[in-house]
Amino acid sequence: AQKITQTQPGMFVQEKEAVTLDCTYDTSDQSYGLFWYKQPSSGEMIFLIYQGSYDEQNATEGRYSLNFQKARKSANLVISASQLGDSAMYFCAMREVNDYKLSFGAGTTVTVRA
Amino acid sequence: DTAVSQTPKYLVTQMGNDKSIKCEQNLGHDTMYWYKQDSKKFLKIMFSYNNKELIINETVPNRFSPKSPDKAHLNLHINSLELGDSAVYFCASSKGEVGYTGELFFGEGSRLTVL
């Protein structure tokens, strides 16, 4: 069964606007971590933000925030004030406490328009 | 100073050849991984080692053989390359304590093209 679901294959956003990337996950573990990674066209995987399942506050890192809704098993990424350099593929991922690996979603391509 | 480094960054080779990709991390992590990213950009775990011990071995053809000479290095050897092996292979590392749910640090990827 798919552990991470990203339903938006591609999105366009106007420069300086905010964009929300959807992510839902499936786990029966109580302890897990949720992540967002960015992959620009150059190909590297850049870690953006982390949310632990026991964290009560939503994680924020600069212009990135993670909207964590535990009951709905959702971990949406919000990018505020989009910049042209934000154009990339974004992956949601999860690491369960009894598992060493990250399981990734299919990714969402974001294109920022000037 | 690169935290997770892989070599080579690009490989172009003929079907049937054997090739290796090397990975080194200087983060002091206990756990290392190989992921494959296919043409649709889907990232799939292949192998993981924790302190030189194989802990994850997903359904991968026997032609793929990982080797971890020490906890800072994880190499991937591929025998008898096939067209379907063309992909980007990412090495990654992480802390390995039981109960840890933190991030993986990725290398820059090695793009393998099989002709």
SS3 A101: coil
Residue B34's nearest CA partner among A101, A48, A33, A42 is A101
Residue A3's nearest CA partner among A68, A98, A92, A113 is A92
Q: How many residues appear in chain B?
A: 115
Give dist(CA A86, CA B115) in Å, integer: 33
**What local confidence, expressed as pLDDT, does residue B59 receive?**
80
| Chain A residue with Cα closest to B99 | A97
**How many CB atoms lie under 10 A from the CB of residue B44?**
16
- Contact between B108 and A107 using a beta-carbon 8 Å cutoff: no
- Intervals of chain A under pLDDT 70: 1
Contact B113, B41 (CB under 8 A): no
- Contact between B103 and A101 using a beta-carbon 8 Å cutoff: no
When pLDDT is cut at 50, 70 and 90, the band that residue B1 belongs to is low
- Contact between A100 and B96 using a beta-carbon 8 Å cutoff: yes
Percentage with pLDDT > 90 across chain B: 79
| Chain A residue with Cα closest to B34 | A101
Give tens-digit pLDDT for B59-70: 889 999 999 999
For tokens 């820059």, what's the residue?
B108
Contact A113, A54 (CB under 8 A): no
